Structure 1
Amino acid sequence: MSQIEREAMEYDVVIVGAGPAGISSAIRLKQINPDLSVVVLEKGSEVGAHILSGAVLDPIGLDKLIPDWKDKGAPLDVAVKDDNFFMLGEAGKIRIPLWPMPPLMKNHGNYIVSMGNVCRWLAEQAEALEVEIFPGMSCSELVYGENGEVKGVVAGEFGKNPDGTPGDGYEPGMELHGKYVLLGEGVRGSLSKQVIAKYALDADCDVQKYGLGMKELWEIDPAKHKPGTVTHTMGWPLGSNAGGGSFIYHLDNNQVYVGFVVHLGYENPYVNPYLSFQQFKHHPMVKELLEGGKRVAYGARAISEGGWQSLPKLEFPGGALLGCSAGMVNVPRIKGNHNAMLSGIAAAEAVAVALSEDRSGDLLNGYDALVRTGEIAKDLKPVRNVKPLWSKHGLMASLVGGGVDMWTNTFGFSLMGTMKHGKTDAEATGDAANHKPIDYPKPDGTISFDRLTNVAFSFTNHEEQQPAHLTLKDASVPVDVNLPKYAGPSQRYCPAGVYEFVEEEGKDARFVINFQNCVHCKTCDIKDPSQNIVWTVPQGGDGPNYPNM
């Protein structure tokens, strides 16, 4: 526990993160027992400000949580009408037929949504049930009880000097205690990392794998707009350098989501995921769609891709991991929001039982088992070999072998068993001496954009006098190890231009962290080959402010 004296507030349940998992959990708790005191703490300036997702939403979680969501005005207005899948070459494309794909890969019955707006709507439903939601409240520390259980969090600390000492307007924040604490921080959450390490929740699972997802919101020529159209691509421009693909989703109001995902297990340290995204937009199919339009917003975030075999234990003394804090994305479906909601519901039901039995601070005994036997398991287990096939044997092996494996799984068995992922994404990074630099086209300022220009369209802001929320375990490693051995990959894998190596004649190279640019994607925490960069939360309200994303 921190040595700083703080006031404390007591709740039945404290939830960290107002994403789909956290808010769903809060709603379900109040549905079960309206007398429970439930608080949700959100680091973004408002609910939805830090939510970035594709997104084509499978409404299974929403159906379970709020069956009459249509009557209540949920912002699911654009049903999927047309589903396309292409393999791209530099100048052409080949349509991949959908009929051989298992039923789970079809998007019939799903909706193109802004998950930020869905979470804003969910927050309204939660507040109507008297859930307390506090945006702008970063949770910077865990609070432990006498028996080593998690009993709360520290939230709302403001006003530190750059060196970490209290400034003139320092506010120590508060301790918010709960009989149970649920962590719904999203991918690679800072508190979730601590809990996983402290209680060895990942001792019996495979390594987690990740992708970097980048997304732009465009307004396009109305003549080109086809609401309900979903397009996915693989292939160019990544080739053999990295795995990944794209998505193009037509929502309403002549708007289109254009996104690009790069799997972070790539070897070549010269790969630049952001420039690959910008290059992709110059494919004739994409360029023709975007010409005459304008980019409205930009953002980026990591995606958990390990799937079924990478799920850690979900319960710890005093709480549980929800959604992407544990990693519940279905990679071939490119969907995780439905599982996040289902996990929040399942955790709430387990907490409600524990509280009805006057238990607090111990293991929930039921949530983990429910996830591993219920709807989430049915979604994740059949696709568990797609990602390792792709990582180890390439795209075509993943398409063919993964497709066959998904089909056999529909009948309850797999010829492949459960494949292992192998190396972490950090360990997968190869020496620069064994790879060649990649010549990326320069952004043209119309279809493609440089990083700093695009970061302005994430509406990111950080108070500059606070301590940097991106810290180094060893300040010498970037220049002494990562620059000579890996050619300084952080200056390329970061989609916001946070990291740079400044080399001046006659002087040693300097490693500079421009934390003000950070869009909270967590890629650096994941991909740094020396695992020397640690992402922590800045003060509350800082970071991106995503509109309609």
Structure 2
Amino acid sequence: MEYDVVIVGAGPSGLSAAIRIKQLAAENEQDVSVCLIEKGSEVGAHILSGAVIEPRALNELIPDWKDKGAPLNTPATDDRFLLLTRETSYKLPTPPQMHNHGNYIISLGNLCRWLATQAEELGVEIYPGFAAAEVLYNDQGAVVGVATGDMGVDREGQPTDQYAPGMELRARYTLFAEGCRGSLTKILFERFKLREGVDPQTYGIGIKELWEVDPTQHVPGKIVHTVGWPLDPSTYGGSFLYHMENHQVAVGFVIGLGYANPHLSPFEEFQRFKTHPDIRPTFEGGRRIAYGARAISAGGIQSVPKLIFPGGALIGDTAGFLNMPKIKGTHTAMKSGMVAAEATFEAIKAGRGADEVTAYPESLKRSWLWEELHEVRNIKP
């Protein structure tokens, strides 16, 4: 199967890139084919985030998102920043980067599902349930697409009666939006030496649970971040509680993966955190309805790799655009996808393919995304 653009990953950056390319194609009356594949069983199935979203990129991508029913239903109303000790807590001034006025508490999975409907209305072909297993190259070594994995194999890798071979999806340009530590992205790092000359990436682990709580404990729009107990002063980490709609609270715990204590269990520290006298009441009488964990790229602008290579580009968290002091990366992931889409469309419009889209990193460094990450470059890394 051949397309102009293949996108790997239906997260915020991949979907934003797909939408932006089709918008530009419509504006220029050009036919540009876009295919997006997603390893999850449905769009949003592998999405896990807090999430409080800053709508800046969404405003640019789909200015009338409110009229189109985007699932941003809970405006942030109250910011609290607490230092926890074993027995009590102290309210601290909220750092300016963590002010959430104008932001929304959302389900990022639901936002991605909504973005997918917008993309499909524009003509994007989305195939959930297909994981990209291999990068395809031409004789000159440029990326020319991906191949999906074989399906219907047993635990030894042998075909069963449900066997279906993987498909080759070839494209003039391939955008990789795999998220943190993407399997194909790691291969691209090595093949094209994309990490040369930049700082090593640093990582954290984020563990999240979604609770349905007692209505008396629920304050829609309330945001709480904590530092301190149960972690010791030498261990980087903290927590969040986001009061969503429908009496739901998203609670999460993040720990930097540079912790020195080999016996530390991030999961057990998270469970201890929920027993704190100022945290426990939120969950008493409630029930946990979902849970998960994910890796987090926390190195900041110093760790952003080279973003382009012949035939493709890296977008979103696979490149590491998280703004760590803000604890937000959705808006930056979306913006990176949009900028890459604009540069890729211009290359296709010019009749190019399988080369480096140099306009992408050049435009990105002139955008508000780069300025935002540059301003906070010395806070965590």
CA-CA distance at 1:304 after TM superposition:
0.6
Match among 53, 58, 67 for residue 54 of structure 2: 58
* Alpha-carbon distance in 2 for matches of 1:304, 1:161: 33
SS of 2:279 mapped into structure 1: helix
Residue 128 in structure 1 maps to residue 124 in structure 2: no
Counterpart in 2 of 1:24? Answer: 16
CA-CA distance at 1:241 after TM superposition:
5.4
* Alpha-carbon distance in 2 for matches of 1:165, 1:294: 41
Q: Give the percent of matched residue pairs that are identical in Structure 1 and Structure 2.
A: 55
* Alpha-carbon distance in 2 for matches of 1:167, 1:192: 30
* Alpha-carbon distance in 1 for matches of 2:150, 2:206: 30
| TM-score (normalizing by structure 1) | 0.68
CA-CA distance at 1:125 after TM superposition:
0.3
* Alpha-carbon distance in 1 for matches of 2:277, 2:366: 45
* Alpha-carbon distance in 2 for matches of 1:370, 1:110: 26
Assess if the C-alpha contact under 8 Å between 1:138 and 1:157 holds in 2.
no
Within-5 A mapping of 1:235-246: 235-240=228-233, 242-246=235-239
Counterpart in 2 of 1:380? Answer: 373
CA-CA distance at 1:163 after TM superposition:
2.7
Counterpart in 2 of 1:314? Answer: 307
| Cα shift readout 1:267-311 (whole Å, capped 9, x = no counterpart) | 221110000001100001110111111111101001110011000
Residue 94 in structure 1 maps to residue 96 in structure 2: no
* Alpha-carbon distance in 1 for matches of 2:366, 2:214: 46
* Alpha-carbon distance in 2 for matches of 1:387, 1:323: 19
Please tell me whether Structure 1 or Structure 2 has the larger radius of gyration of its CA atoms: 1
Residue 273 in structure 1 maps to residue 254 in structure 2: no
Residue 349 in structure 1 maps to residue 342 in structure 2: yes
Residue 253 in structure 1 maps to residue 249 in structure 2: no
CA-CA distance at 1:379 after TM superposition:
1.6
Deviates more, 1:370-379 or 1:290-299: 370-379
CA-CA distance at 1:162 after TM superposition:
2.3
* Alpha-carbon distance in 2 for matches of 1:49, 1:288: 30
* Alpha-carbon distance in 1 for matches of 2:316, 2:277: 37
The list of structure 1 runs, each at least 4 consecutive aligned residues, that deviate by more than 3 angstroms after superposition, is 165-169
Match among 78, 82, 104 for residue 82 of structure 1: 78
Match among 240, 262, 272 for residue 255 of structure 2: 262
CA-CA distance at 1:157 after TM superposition:
1.7
| Cα shift readout 1:506-526 (whole Å, capped 9, x = no counterpart) | xxxxxxxxxxxxxxxxxxxxx
Assess if the C-alpha contact under 8 Å between 1:83 and 1:231 holds in 2.
yes
Q: Amino acid of the residue matched to residue 200 of structure 1?
A: K
Match among 145, 148, 155 for residue 141 of structure 2: 148
Counterpart in 2 of 1:423? Answer: none
Q: Amino acid of the residue matched to residue 17 of structure 2?
A: S
Q: Which structure shows the bigger proportion of residues in strand conformation?
A: 2
Assess if the C-alpha contact under 8 Å between 2:98 and 2:327 holds in 1.
no
* Alpha-carbon distance in 1 for matches of 2:304, 2:215: 43
| TM-score (normalizing by structure 2) | 0.97
Within-5 A mapping of 1:329-344: 329-344=322-337
* Alpha-carbon distance in 2 for matches of 1:168, 1:254: 46
Counterpart in 2 of 1:157? Answer: 150
CA-CA distance at 1:170 after TM superposition:
2.4
Counting matched residue pairs gives: 377
SS of 2:5 mapped into structure 1: strand
SS of 1:85 mapped into structure 2: strand
* Alpha-carbon distance in 2 for matches of 1:94, 1:381: 31
* Alpha-carbon distance in 2 for matches of 1:163, 1:240: 46
Q: Which runs of 5+ in 2 are unaligned?
A: none
| Cα shift readout 1:439-474 (whole Å, capped 9, x = no counterpart) | xxxxxxxxxxxxxxxxxxxxxxxxxxxxxxxxxxxx
SS of 2:114 mapped into structure 1: helix
Assess if the C-alpha contact under 8 Å between 1:210 and 1:304 holds in 2.
yes
CA-CA distance at 1:375 after TM superposition:
1.3
| Cα shift readout 1:194-253 (whole Å, capped 9, x = no counterpart) | 111110011011000111001000011111110000110001001145210000000111
SS of 2:336 mapped into structure 1: helix
Assess if the C-alpha contact under 8 Å between 1:220 and 1:290 holds in 2.
yes
C-alpha RMSD of matched pairs (Å): 1.0
SS of 1:213 mapped into structure 2: strand
* Alpha-carbon distance in 2 for matches of 1:234, 1:295: 23
Residue 174 in structure 1 maps to residue 167 in structure 2: yes
* Alpha-carbon distance in 2 for matches of 1:238, 1:270: 13
* Alpha-carbon distance in 2 for matches of 1:201, 1:165: 35
Q: Which runs of 5+ in 1 are unaligned?
A: 1-8, 389-549
Counterpart in 1 of 2:42? Answer: 46
Within-5 A mapping of 1:363-378: 363-378=356-371
| Cα shift readout 1:297-342 (whole Å, capped 9, x = no counterpart) | 1010011100110000111110100110000101111000000100
Counterpart in 2 of 1:517? Answer: none
SS of 2:380 mapped into structure 1: helix
Counterpart in 1 of 2:351? Answer: 358
Q: Amino acid of the residue matched to residue 23 of structure 2?
A: Q
Assess if the C-alpha contact under 8 Å between 2:5 and 2:34 holds in 1.
yes
Counterpart in 2 of 1:446? Answer: none
SS of 1:373 mapped into structure 2: coil
Within-5 A mapping of 1:103-502: 104-240=97-233, 242-388=235-381
Assess if the C-alpha contact under 8 Å between 2:217 and 2:281 holds in 1.
no
Counterpart in 2 of 1:468? Answer: none
CA-CA distance at 1:182 after TM superposition:
0.3
Assess if the C-alpha contact under 8 Å between 1:241 and 1:271 holds in 2.
no
Assess if the C-alpha contact under 8 Å between 1:151 and 1:177 holds in 2.
yes
* Alpha-carbon distance in 2 for matches of 1:169, 1:295: 36
